[in-house]
Amino acid sequence: MTWGVIVFPGSNDDRDTRHVLAEVIGAEVRMLWHKDTDLKGVDAVVLPGGFSYGDYLRAGAIARISPVMEEVARFANAGGPVLGICNGFQVLCEAGLLPGALIRNSGLRFVCRNEAIEVANTATAFTASCSGGEVLRIPVKHGCGCYVLEKNKLEELEGRGGVVFRYADTAPNGSVNNIAGVCNERGNVVGLMPHPEHAVDPALGLVDGRILFESATAWAVKGVAA
């Protein structure tokens, strides 16, 4: 399986993500620059964390109009697995590939700590190998991670199982309904604020993030078999 990792000016977790995919999962990885107009035949795409374009204007607002995002949208609409982590989640929301928006944390402070994240939906590309209600320990580090959505759309999101992850305890950023991650209707596009790429190494005391990347591999294999 070949993964593509999008690199925007200001991305700072692209190399961490590449390390996980190449050295831990053992997959082939292609780094995709924000000006690329070809995804180079990858089977899954990750939009990593960071501060794309310095978070000027609004987090993710400039990155969404990068040339590569047209290809990401085309890939996602065709059913390809796409994962947006932190800033990548913000970009996916700004691009309309996921519902809602991420705004400044309710306490107006940057949060950086390990969090307990509950898996609320196992029918997605990145949670297919998880158990419903499973709690993962994954770190968060963001200043604009408060997830918001209009009441009627929130009810629709909840009703269709669009919430993929919730903070097991009180959301550290004020996110509505303790939402930590969501998906599109097909379940192939997932965005979350926690950083699974920083929870794969026993030396760091956290390994729960690995299952998200393994799930996508299983999802892709199942899709080929179907």
Asked if 195 is an active-site residue, the reply is yes
Q: Which of 34, 86, 93, 130 is catalytic?
A: 86
Residue recorded with tokens 């307990």: 116
Helix, strand, coil % over all residues of the chain, rounded to 5:
30, 25, 40
**Considering only CA atoms, which of 144, 15, 40, 7 is closest in space to residue 89?**
144
Helix or strand or coil: residue 173?
coil
Catalytic site residue 197? yes
Task: Give the Å distances, CA to CA, from 190 to 82, 108, 182, 202.
Answer: 6, 25, 6, 25
Which one is catalytic: 93, 146, 183, 195?
A: 195
- Catalytic position from the list 94, 115, 118, 197: 197
Please say if 146 is a catalytic residue: no
Q: Is the dihedral of CA 128, 99, 149, 111 positive or negative?
A: positive
Catalytic residue list: 86, 195, 197
